[in-house]
Structure 1
């Protein structure tokens, strides 16, 4: 029997390897999808939860804060504590913890138990995205790393288009616990998928906790986290109060809001893909351009919000520009963190949750001061501008640092 040509065998091996990488990144993205569903669907279930436990909506809102607190606390602690673990093993354990938290939420007998379960579900959020981003980047190889990171984060964006509306429908039809139980199923499926198709990255090095923490002494890491925590808050300033803006200002019927939010989610998907491509081509310049465009879009949204068509288009662009920023921020942290890449990448999601809280708070302040429901967009543009003011000097400093050795 004749043997196939050597080049044909090599080509087949390459195709198999590429297919394996795609499946692995898809498995990692599935985990991101589950995280996105549980994070954002909870906001649409608050009224049902409040009615179920006979509490006020502000009291039910503590489950949102509990999840965010879990993210902020869990990302650095888990990453440092598990710094010497094998990454594939860590991914499995993180998703098991995520599954336990969401399943416990589905069966919570009291609101206090639900708050604890939500805190537990939030703990692996940042660490998962940090580790998954590093695994995806290592599998993709040079020149495609930012796109691989974007594909992992794409699950988070797709959740806003598909997962959140479905979870909300489940909650309305079968009761709010069914939504959290469905997320638990997604978490369990992710565990299986990781075990089956995600390989342990080759060439990995053992990093001590002290080396991970050393990343926090790097000015470029701190500057990038500041951009995430402040600049990204502009998007959340708009998103938190979007129902009031669209209904009371744009004049859109309340029944159309699920479709409107799906448009926002679609913008996030598009932005995530574009952001990954831009970051691979020119990371720092791409981040500056995207942040500048996001600032302008947020400011223009205050005008666009007065007409239903322009309001929906503007919301799409708000989601797209905000989401486009995330892969670049994640990649920049990984680039400048030295041996502390895992912690830096995980802290990105702590910073983004801080941005969520900051944007929502500032948006609420300007509304309470009587500036109307378009004022969060202007406040958001200000936050984005502050983020840009932090980013530009950091980029210039990084370029000077690269040029200095050449001058010697």
Structure 2
């Protein structure tokens, strides 16, 4: 959790220090904004590729190396003399993020009882929640107080502390993978794995549309002041933390029914947010509720991928993380089309609910296949 907190803070914090980075390196705000794109590209491309290439490497040794790269990447970011060096450092750091997260999940769940896998995943995801609630605001505060380079230095220190904790406390879990990278890729021929990853992409896309345009929705539609947005993001993050832990508990008890039920609740929540979008109090409440419902589905989705891709779980989790990043990119594009199409900002809530309904339908189809006995175990990988 500490390691996930450090690494994902490095991903999220750039938004808070973007103007300082642009000013310090003498580039425009749009050019600095490409640092976010660079990180996303690094995760989308690097996650599956690096995970496949390191499939047979001892897991504990691998995550220690990945953490060293994360430390080095953030140190390089802190010392970057020009924009190009910072851009490259961001890509290098992003390359190891998905592979680290995937191996961390496999290590953690392999030491947990079978009926506790989803809640174990939720504890790792809690590190991501904390990076949203504490990491990004603290990183922004450090950057504002001591300069943006100090922010990356602080993240490097956090990752280094996590590395030392892994060395001391994490069990060296055996890596049973004996197949080649090409053979591991064959796991994606399994329909259940394809559906599990598709659910992650589609099921999260609706919420990501709203989150991408959170600030203009809250300011221009509801009427909050710009200074209130950071506090509402904090409320959203607290809701996400509560929902994440509750979702892990529910998924341990009934994986697919809880996933479908929570997606239905999220759809309803987005609909309610549309209805109350002109009311400040109602919207503030729904920010918490939607944050909780949105993150309640994450542990179950990860556990579902682990269950269906048991022959290559690490690679599948890495690809699942890339699917989430693709969903984020699609969400930004679709939200932009909604606004440019003349439907108005408020229509984003309705479109987001509609996209989430598609996630429900994919989940129902996957559950239907399960109940018919069409599982990953029926399909050979090699």
Determine the structure 2 residue equivalent to 1:285. 257
Is structure 2 residue 90 aligned with structure 1 residue 118? yes
Determine the structure 2 residue equivalent to 1:240. 212
Alpha-carbon distance in structure 1 between the residues aligned to 2:351 and 2:143:
33
Alpha-carbon distance in structure 2 between the residues aligned to 1:138 and 1:151:
14
Determine the structure 1 residue equivalent to 2:380. none
TM-score, length of structure 2 as denominator length:
0.94
Q: CA deviation at 1:202?
A: 5.0
Selected match of 1:197 from 151, 155, 169: 169
Determine the structure 1 residue equivalent to 2:317. 345
Is structure 2 residue 345 aligned with structure 1 residue 378? no
Determine the structure 2 residue equivalent to 1:9. none
Q: Which moved more, 1:277-286 or 1:55-64?
A: 55-64
Q: CA deviation at 1:57?
A: 2.1
Q: Secondary structure at the match of 1:140?
A: coil
Aligned residues: 376
Determine the structure 2 residue equivalent to 1:33. 5
Q: CA deviation at 1:154?
A: 0.8
The answer to whether the 8 A contact 2:140-2:151 is kept is: yes
Selected match of 1:272 from 244, 261, 285: 244
Distance 1:328 1:369, change over 3 A: same
Deviations 1:36-91 (A, max 9, x none): 21121112222222222333322211100100111111111111111111111111
Alignment of 1:3-402 (within 5 A): 29-201=1-173, 204-401=176-373
Q: Which moved more, 1:103-112 or 1:59-68?
A: 103-112
Alpha-carbon distance in structure 1 between the residues aligned to 2:17 and 2:338:
26
Q: CA deviation at 1:162?
A: 0.9
Alpha-carbon distance in structure 2 between the residues aligned to 1:137 and 1:231:
23
Alpha-carbon distance in structure 1 between the residues aligned to 2:7 and 2:14:
11
Alpha-carbon distance in structure 1 between the residues aligned to 2:332 and 2:270:
15
Q: CA deviation at 1:343?
A: 0.6
Determine the structure 2 residue equivalent to 1:8. none
Q: CA deviation at 1:376?
A: 2.2
Q: CA deviation at 1:267?
A: 1.1
Deviations 1:316-340 (A, max 9, x none): 1222112111111111111011311
Distance 1:242 1:401, change over 3 A: same
Alignment of 1:397-408 (within 5 A): 397-401=369-373
The answer to whether the 8 A contact 1:288-1:392 is kept is: yes
TM-score, length of structure 1 as denominator length:
0.88
Alpha-carbon distance in structure 2 between the residues aligned to 1:302 and 1:119:
37
The answer to whether the 8 A contact 1:230-1:358 is kept is: no
Distance 1:304 1:107, change over 3 A: farther
Alpha-carbon distance in structure 1 between the residues aligned to 2:16 and 2:355:
26
Alpha-carbon distance in structure 1 between the residues aligned to 2:129 and 2:155:
15
The answer to whether the 8 A contact 1:221-1:333 is kept is: yes
Larger CA Rg, structure 1 vs 2: 1
Alpha-carbon distance in structure 2 between the residues aligned to 1:203 and 1:186:
27
Deviations 1:103-159 (A, max 9, x none): 211111222221111111111111111111111111112211111111011100111
Q: Following TM superposition, where does structure 1 have runs of at least 4 consecutive aligned residues deviating by more than 3 angstroms?
A: 202-208
Q: Secondary structure at the match of 1:201?
A: coil
Determine the structure 2 residue equivalent to 1:18. none
Alpha-carbon distance in structure 2 between the residues aligned to 1:305 and 1:56:
33
Alpha-carbon distance in structure 1 between the residues aligned to 2:150 and 2:135:
13
